[in-house]
Amino acid sequence: MTKLSVNINKIALIRNSRGANYPDLVQIAKDCEKFGADGITIHPRPDERHARYADVPVLKAIVKTELNVEGNPIPKFLKMVMENQPHQCTLVPDAPDALTSDAGWDTIKHKGFLTDTIAKLRAAGIRTSIFINPDERMIEGAKAVGTDRIEFYTGPYAHNYSEGKRKAVADYARCGKLAHQLGLGINAGHDLNTTNLNYFIKNVGNVAEVSIGHALISDALYYGLHHTILMYLKECRNV
């Protein structure tokens, strides 16, 4: 079964636009869980324009499912993760000024850094995942650095889906098979939505978790948060 982790960064963005605590991230996280989400994801970026570092302990205290904290493992981020012990930490090589994460790790070039960082996180009991493009060399590199899971960067899949879904998913299906054979858990995220999600899960196989923010929160404007989470869960479960 593929778990649905709701990325609530967009809620934090709305909150930050007015300076007060509304909408309340904690209430939204509790409601996502009540409506069936299997986890909550936040991605505090260095400029804290969406989720803030200070949101992490507050969410850790109330999340009953799984808290996934994503981010570029700069020292400040790693310190915060170690202090708060989320269930999972996803390492993302995003530039501080990136609009959104747009590429996976070069697991060969950054082998030493990733190996050290992952070992520290795992020793603290935190499951690790690293953001990856569907490339066999990067998957083999991911195995070599000792991560528990990879998270496929699905932006290109989503972008190419309308031009031909079979071709769009092909690299992910091939690399997913390799990752599974190597014993790596598989997560996925970026631009997944109710149109492309189920096809991805069905064709890649063994997808443990998807983290979805932008499309899910946008859909919630029309369908409401409860109904929208049920729509996404249906896409996750119906395989």
Task: Check whether the bond before 23 is cis (ω within 30° of 0).
Answer: yes
SS3 assignment, position 173:
helix
- Site membership for ligand PXP, residue 92 (CB under 6 A): yes
Q: Which of 33, 50, 190, 235 is catalytic?
A: 190
Determine whether 70 is an active site residue: yes
Determine whether 190 is an active site residue: yes
- Site membership for ligand PXP, residue 15 (CB under 6 A): no
Q: Taking CB under 6 A as the rule, which mask of x and - marks residues 165-204 in contact with ligand PXP?
A: ------------------------xxxx------------
DSSP tag of 53: T
d(CA 25, CA 167): 38
Helix, strand and coil in the chain, % to nearest 5: 50, 15, 35
Q: Are 154 and 176 in contact (CB under 8 A)?
A: no
Amino acid at 213: G
Determine whether 180 is an active site residue: no
- Site membership for ligand PXP, residue 110 (CB under 6 A): no
Q: Which of 70, 151, 209, 235 is catalytic?
A: 70
Which residues are the active-site residues?
Answer: 43, 70, 190
Catalog residues that contact ligand PXP under the rule CB under 6 A.
7, 9, 43, 70, 90, 92, 100-101, 131, 151, 189-192, 211-215
